[in-house]
């Protein structure tokens, strides 16, 4: 199939273009669209066959459930059996925005969307283009990140097309996404809400509203002690094996490691801060994610940095870790996964 490309204004998108895209969604097709976090690959969230097309286009394992995106917070009642008080508080505070809430689902949600789970993940995005598209489609829109399964999520329409051109019906291009990492996922079906995925709404922000948050066991484990490589399926993987260097001495150890690898004859890549990049040998292929102390800028540039090596081939990559506060928690979560948990402590 030929993928239709539409350029739209981020704040004032052309209604006719959105109506065309909404029509494709209603008829069971796939439309990639921008959100404030990353580009999503949308389908009619109440249509099991349309959802199945998402899995096929991405090569995504069918047991990994999808997020349903809505245009108004009232629409959550169609999808969720009940809204616990803590979920209502989160919605009031952080919707629309980069927060996904897991709730007990109603029968209108197809098994194909939830991977057969009794729960459903719901998000009300802040992006004007996303919300107008969902409103015009008139149905909840199932949308994972619009990348081939295992690859870094797309933060531009060009990254979407690099992965999915010819496999989806259309893409709406509204330029780069503001936040750059995916939404925070919080499970509100547990007595104390559980953080499943750190993202645009930080742990500190969740604690302000909830007082208490549990970390999912996989998340707690990977932050406390690095897991052994290969323990998990690949995610966000760049085009060559990557090792993440964490800790206060990360910058110095990255310098040492890339120098050794160059001496051994490898083509070497580095995913690093601007400060560290300035100190690396010129032979290193550098993907700079921003100033070391600016976690928001780093989040916004992270996936583009990981995709840098698609066009500039290397044999090995070293990445410099950052401090884990604020958006830094989400950045480090993605870097650890992108490294397949190959981690060095410095
Ligand atoms: O920012 C975002 O959330 C983006 C944009 C497009 O909205 N979407 C996104 O979707 O990141 P995806 O499919 O790449 O990630 C969805 C995450 C997965 O980790 C999935 O396992 C989890 O949400 N999830 C979905 N439904 C769930 C459920 N019922 N219970 C637990 N986790 C769920
Ligand atoms: Mg994804």
Statement: residue 230 has pLDDT above 60 = no
Q: Is the CB of 126 under 6 A from ligand 1?
A: no
Pairing of strands 194-197, 119-123: unpaired
Q: Is 150 left (phi over 0), alpha (psi -120 to 50) or beta?
A: left
Cβ contact 337:236 at 8 Å = yes
**Of 219, 252, 285, which marks where a domain is finished?**
219
Give domain status of residue 224, yes or no. Answer: no
Report CA Rg, the chain.
20
Q: How far apart are CA 25 and CA 22, in angstroms?
A: 5
Q: How far apart are CA 186 and CA 52, in angstroms?
A: 25
Q: Whose CA is nearest to atom 20 of ligand 1?
A: 65
Regarding whether 157 and 258 lie in a shared domain, the answer is no
Mutational test site, ligand 1, from 119, 144, 163, max ligand atoms within 8 Å of CB: 144
Ligand nearest to the CA of 181: 1
Give domain status of residue 102, yes or no. Answer: yes
Query: What are the structure tokens assigned to 99, written together?
Result: 């927060």
pLDDT of residue 225: 61
pLDDT of residue 62: 87
The three-point CA angle 292-206-44 to 5° equals: 95
pLDDT digit string (tens) for 111-140? 999 999 999 999 999 999 999 999 999 999
Regarding whether 179 and 50 lie in a shared domain, the answer is yes
From ligand 1's centre to the CA of 261, what distance in Å? 37
Regarding whether 16 and 109 lie in a shared domain, the answer is yes
Regarding whether 162 and 269 lie in a shared domain, the answer is no
Give domain status of residue 90, yes or no. Answer: yes
pLDDT digit string (tens) for 232-243? 567 899 999 999
DSSP character for 292? T
Regarding whether 277 and 199 lie in a shared domain, the answer is no
| CATH code, domain with 110 | 3.90.870.10
Pairing of strands 31-33, 40-44: antiparallel
Q: State the pTM of this model.
A: 0.97
Angle between helices 85-94 and 203-210 (to 10 degrees): 130
Regarding whether 211 and 128 lie in a shared domain, the answer is yes
Regarding whether 296 and 171 lie in a shared domain, the answer is no
Regarding whether 249 and 332 lie in a shared domain, the answer is yes
Give domain status of residue 228, yes or no. Answer: no
The three-point CA angle 266-302-275 to 5° equals: 70
Q: Is the CB of 143 under 6 A from ligand 1?
A: yes
User: 79: domain range?
Assistant: 4-219
| CATH code, domain with 335 | 3.40.50.11030
Give domain status of residue 225, yes or no. Answer: no
Q: How many domains does the chain have?
A: 2
Confidence band of 63 (pLDDT split at 50, 70, 90): confident
pLDDT digit string (tens) for 75-96? 999 999 999 999 999 999 999 9
pLDDT of residue 207: 98
Cβ contact 190:339 at 8 Å = no
Mutational test site, ligand 1, from 145, 148, 159, 163, max ligand atoms within 8 Å of CB: 145
Regarding whether 117 and 202 lie in a shared domain, the answer is yes
Q: How far apart are CA 202 and CA 193, in angstroms?
A: 14
């Amino acid at each position: 199939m030929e993928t239709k490309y539409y350029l739209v204004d981020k704040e004032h998108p052309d209604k006719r273009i959105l109506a065309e895209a909404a029509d494709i969604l209603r008829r069971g097709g796939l439309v990639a669209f921008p959100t404030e976090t990353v580009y999503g690959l949308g389908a009619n969230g109440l249509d099991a066959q349309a959802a199945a097309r998402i899995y096929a286009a991405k090569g995504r394992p069918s047991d990994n459930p999808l997020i349903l995106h809505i245009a108004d917070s009232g629409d959550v009642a169609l999808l969720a059996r009940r809204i616990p008080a803590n979920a209502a508080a989160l919605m009031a505070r952080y919707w629309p925005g980069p927060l996904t809430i897991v709730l007990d689902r109603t029968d209108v949600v197809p098994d194909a969307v939830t991977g057969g789970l009794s729960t459903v993940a719901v998000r009300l995005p802040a992006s004007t283009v996303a919300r107008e598209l969902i409103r015009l489609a008139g149905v909840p829109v199932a949308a994972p990140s619009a990348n081939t399964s295992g690859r870094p999520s797309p933060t531009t329409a060009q990254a979407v097309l690099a992965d999915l051109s010819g496999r989806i019906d259309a893409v709406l291009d509204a330029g780069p996404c503001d936040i750059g990492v995916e939404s925070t996922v919080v499970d509100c079906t547990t007595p104390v809400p559980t953080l499943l995925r750190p993202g645009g709404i930080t742990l500190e922000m969740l604690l302000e509203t909830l007082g208490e948050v549990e970390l999912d066991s996989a998340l707690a484990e990977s932050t406390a002690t690095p897991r052994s490589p290969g323990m998990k399926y690949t995610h966000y993987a760049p085009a060559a094996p990557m090792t993440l260097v964490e800790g206060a001495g990360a910058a110095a150890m990255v310098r040492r490691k890339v120098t050794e690898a160059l001496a051994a004859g490898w083509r070497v890549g580095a995913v690093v801060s601007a400060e560290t990049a300035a100190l690396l040998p010129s032979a290193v292929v550098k993907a700079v994610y921003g100033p070391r102390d600016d976690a928001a800028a780093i989040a916004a540039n992270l996936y583009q940095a990981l995709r840098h090596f698609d066009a500039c081939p290397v044999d090995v990559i070293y990445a410099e870790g950052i401090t884990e506060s604020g958006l830094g928690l989400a950045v480090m979560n993605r870097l650890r996964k992108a490294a397949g948990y190959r981690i060095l402590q410095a």
